[in-house]
Amino acid sequence: MYRSLVALAGVLALTATLGASNPGASGDGNLKHLLPPNVAQAGVLHVASDISYAPVEFYAPGTHDVKGIDYDIGMAMGKKLGIRLDFINTTFDGIIPALLSHRFDIVFSAMNDTPEREKRIDFIDYFLAGSGVLVRKGNPEHIASLADLCGKTADAEQGTAQVTFLQEQSKRCLAEHKKAINVLAFATDTDALEQLKLGRSSAHVADYPVAAYDARTEGGGGLFDVTGKQFAVAAYGIGVRKEDRQLRDALQAALKAVIADGEYDRILTKWGLEEGALRTAPISAGARFH
């Protein structure tokens, strides 16, 4: 099921229109000269990331070693720029305010590039993913989509698009004279998933790659199933303050270099996420995918 992300096919066709120039993308050049002088001198970028979202970013079990697609892409970009990216765990619902208050330099955290978020920060888009619904193994409540959650309890991570999707569906439930959805929102995706694991909710809603990973790995694959098809396919973006254009453009050049030399594809293959490839690294193009 996880490999059959057919819904991405139509969206991927759109990427051809977003440009594919690759300045400095020979794969063996140092792009440090593109960075703002203060960043180049410091040699490090402080990255805000909610490190609880396997397989996108998470701690290896029993350690504080960061793993995942975001981390691997970030490390590859850092090599192109000749600097280190330091991933720092941050709750997702406060991640943009933390960036805007200069607590961090960038956001790299499976964040959807949405028109609403683009009003506040810029994005370098790097991956495509939809949302998925996780249910208990065997789907005992016969849930196929959000529409089947009327009158039930569902959980998601606070501050995510999934909470919004559940709230919007709950309004549709009421409009159809059905009971509302009891939406439980928690600070981390791990805490939200625990509600389904404990039987306190009927479904866990998360990004599709995360839901599929949980279905494959939790309890050795014996606890959960992903039900129905993924929905609301959107682009993930690296978040940068709007005034930091030189940094944004340097990061874009580094991402294009990582794509051009094949490291991007190797990382996606490593995590089984090839279907989400976005090989053009556009700036704030999230509206194209909605």
**Using one digit for the tens of pLDDT, what is the confidence trace for 197-230?**
999 999 999 999 999 999 999 999 999 999 998 8
Residue 58: CB atoms within 10 Å: 22
Provide the pLDDT confidence category of residue 121 given band limits of 50, 70 and 90: very high
* Tens-place pLDDT, residues 99-113: 999 999 999 999 999
Strands in the chain per DSSP E: 44-49, 52-53, 57-59, 66-67, 84-89, 106-107, 121-136, 153-157, 182-186, 203-207, 224-241
Which DSSP state fits 112? B
CATH tag, 8-22+33-130+233-289? 3.40.190.10
Nearest 5°: phi and psi at 70?
-60, -45
- Spelled out in words, what is the top-level CATH class assigned to the domain 131-231? alpha beta
Decide: helix, strand or coil at residue 44: strand
**Which residues of the chain does CATH 3.40.190.10 include?**
8-22+33-130+233-289, 131-231
Residue 14 has pLDDT above 60, yes or no: no
Cβ-count burial of 187 within 10 angstroms (0-12 exposed, 13-18 middle, 19+ buried)?
middle
3-state helix, strand, coil in the chain (%, to 5): 40, 25, 35
Choice between 22 and 253, residue whose per-residue pLDDT is larger: 253
For residue 122, the cross-strand partners are: 240
